[in-house]
Amino acid sequence: MKILLCWIGNTDLVCAERDSPDNLGPIVQALAIEQYARVVLLDNYHDARVGPFLDWMQRKVGVVPEVHQAHLSSPTAHKEIYSAARQLVLQTQAAWPNAKLTFHISPGTPAMALCWLLLAPVCGARVIESSREQGVREVNFPFEISAYFLPDKDLARLATVPSSTQAAFKDILFASEAMQRVVAQAQHVAPRDITVLIEGESGTGKELFARAIHEASPRADGPFVPVNCGAIPAELIESLLFGYKKDAFTGATKDTDGFFQAADKGTLFLDELGELPPKAQVALLRAIQEGAVARVGDTRASKVDVRIIAATNRNLLSEVAEGRFRSDLFYRLAVACLTLPPLRERSEDVALLLDAALAYANRELSLHGHRNNKKFSDSAKKALLSHSWPGNVRELYNTVMRVALWTPGEIIDADSAKQSLFALPQHQQPILDRPLGNGFTLEGILGEVARHYIDRAMRDSNGTKSKAAELLGFNTYQTLSNWIKRYGI
C-alpha cells in the first residue's frame, strides 16, 4: 500500500485558481504520474483557497485526500514543522503499519522540505520532487540522519556508539542533558562520511567538537585542517582555499596547494563560515558538489577527497532569509546540524568545567615555575558559579587561568575570583528611581525596558522570532513584531 504525504504549497493553490492545463502544480503533477492508495496532506493555510484546491484536485486526478490541520507560528518554524510532520507520520504508520510512505518535498517552504528529508531515513520513506521542467523524480541523499531535530526519546538509539568513538569525545566535559544530547548527535554522525554544520555562540567549543568528530571518523589518520574564514581577506580566499598556479598573480612564484589539497583524505574545518563573501560561497559550493578544485590560474580541476565540517556563530537560516548566505550552499552543508548550547543554558556543567580549568591552569603554570597547586575556596567557587559567562567556555578557562596566575598563595579567595571577572559596562540609570519632570516620559522608560528584553530574547533565540516571543511570554510572534515596530527596534 503506497501513501503520499506532503504539505499543501502556495504554488498548488495558485495553479488551482488559474486552472492552467500545462501547469498542474507539484501535488497534482505527482499524482498524475503515479498512483497512491492514500494521499495525506498537511494544511497550514486554513483559508478559503484550500477547499477549491481540493475540488480541483479531484477533478484533475480523481483523488480525494485526507487533510490534517497544522498550526504554525511561521512557515519557516523548523521545530514546529518537524513536529507536525512527524506526528502525521506516526499516525499514518499506526493506522497502516505495512504501508510504503512517500514524502513529496516540492510543495511548501524549504524548511518543510528539509524536515521531510530529516524524517525520511528514520521511517524508511521514499522522497520525490517535481518541477515543470524536469517532471517528477526520486530524490536520493547520501546521509542517514541529521540528529538536529531528532526527538528526545530517540537519543537512546544514538547513544549506542563504539568505545573508540566515545574516546574521541573524552575532552568534552559535561553533566547536563543539553550537552548529553548534542554529544550523542555528534557521536552518531562522526563515523558517517557526511558534511556537518556546527552552530553556536563564540566560545562554546565548535572546533573542539569538529576535532572530536574527525578523530572518531574513518579519516582520523588523515589531516585535520582548520581554516578561519573570517580572518582571510576577500581577495585571497580562493587562492588560499584552492591553491594557485605559478604566475597566476603578482607574487605567485610557484605552484601552491590550498587548504582543500592540504586536507585531502582528511577533514577541512571551515570556521566562521558565515563570514564568507558571496563570490567565495559560489566557489565553495562548486568545489563541494564536484569534489574537485581548480587552482587560481589553472583551467583544469583536480579531484580531492575531503570531508567538510563547517562552523558559525551566526544563525545561517536567518542569513539565508536575509539574502546574505546562499540557500543552496546552506542545504549542501547542513546534512548533519549540531547546535551547541551556550554555557548559561548548561549550568550543571559549570562546576565541572571550573575544576577542569583549574587543573589545566595548574599544569600550565607549573611549566613556568609556579609550584603552588591552586584551589578554590568555597566562596570563590560560589562567586564563579553565579557568573553568567557571556563568553562561554573560552571565557571560563581564561578567567580561571587569570585568577590562578594572580593568586600568590594556594587558596583562591572570593575577592580574587570576583576581580578576575569582566563585568559588562552598565550605562543606564536605575529604571525605578528616575526623577520625574525635565523630559521624563513613561513611554520612554517602557521603551528602554522593551528594547532591552527584546534584544536579549532575539539573541538567546538566535534571531528566531517565534522562540523569542515564547521567551518573552507572547502568545504569537506577530505580537513580538508589533512591539518591535512600536519601539523602533
pLDDT(195) > 50: yes
Hey, is 235 helix, strand or coil? helix
Q: Is residue 334 part of a domain?
A: yes
Per the structure, the count of domains in the chain is: 4
What is the reported pLDDT for 485? 81
User: What is d(CA 411, CA 229) in angstroms, rounded to the nearest whole number?
Assistant: 42
- Give yes or no: residues 191 and 286 share one domain: yes
Name residues whose C-beta falls within 8 Å of residue 488's C-beta, 6 or more positions apart in sequence: none
CATH code of the domain containing 263: 3.40.50.300
- Give yes or no: residues 23 and 87 share one domain: yes
> What are the phi and psi torsion angles at 128 (to 5°)?
-130, 160
- Give yes or no: residues 37 and 125 share one domain: yes
User: What is d(CA 264, CA 219) in angstroms, rounded to the nearest whole number?
Assistant: 10
- If you average pLDDT over every residue of the chain, what do you get? 86
- Give yes or no: residues 196 and 322 share one domain: yes
Report DSSP state, residue 144: S
- Give yes or no: residues 401 and 308 share one domain: no
Helices 350-366, 392-406: inter-axial angle, 10-degree rounding: 50
Final residue before a domain boundary, out of 291, 324, 341: 341
Report DSSP state, residue 152: G
Mean pLDDT for 172-194 is 89
What is the reported pLDDT for 145? 43
CATH code of the domain containing 389: 1.10.8.60
Alpha helices, DSSP H, located in 66-124: 78-95, 110-123
Nearest to 261 by CA among 273, 243, 247, 246: 243
Q: Is residue 309 part of a domain?
A: yes
C-alpha cell at 130: 517535481
Final residue before a domain boundary, out of 399, 420, 441: 420
Task: Report whether 280 contacts 237 (CB < 8 A).
Answer: yes
Q: Is residue 426 part of a domain?
A: no
Q: Is residue 425 part of a domain?
A: no
Share of the chain above pLDDT 90, in %: 42
- Give yes or no: residues 169 and 306 share one domain: yes
- Give yes or no: residues 112 and 240 share one domain: no
Task: Report whether 200 contacts 316 (CB < 8 A).
Answer: no
Residue linked to cell 527584546: 454
Please, what's the largest Cα pairwise distance for the chain?
Answer: 86
- Give yes or no: residues 365 and 328 share one domain: no
Q: What is the pTM of this model?
A: 0.57
Task: Round the CA-based radius of gyration of the chain to a whole number and report it.
Answer: 27
- Give yes or no: residues 187 and 282 share one domain: yes
C-alpha cell at 42: 498537511
- Give yes or no: residues 123 and 16 share one domain: yes
What is the reported pLDDT for 191? 92
- Residue 454's domain comprises 431-486
Q: Convert the pLDDT of each residue in 313-332 to its tens digit.
A: 988 888 888 888 999 999 89
User: Who wins on pLDDT, 63 or 436?
Assistant: 63
Q: How many CA atoms lie within 13 A of 210 on its CB side?
A: 28
CA dihedral 397→403→404→410, nearest 10 degrees, is: -140
pLDDT(286) > 70: yes
The band of 430, judged by pLDDT with boundaries at 50, 70 and 90, is low
Q: Is residue 240 part of a domain?
A: yes
Cα-based angle 188, 156, 148 (whole degrees, multiple of 5):
50
| Paired residues of 128 in beta bridges | 104, 138
Helices 10-18, 25-33: inter-axial angle, 10-degree rounding: 80
- Give yes or no: residues 240 and 376 share one domain: no
Q: Is residue 402 part of a domain?
A: yes
pLDDT(460) > 90: no
Nearest to 16 by CA among 64, 57, 45: 57
Amino acid at 363: R
Give CA separation, 6 vs 72, 81, 125, 293, 454, in Å: 15, 12, 12, 37, 35
- Give yes or no: residues 127 and 10 share one domain: yes
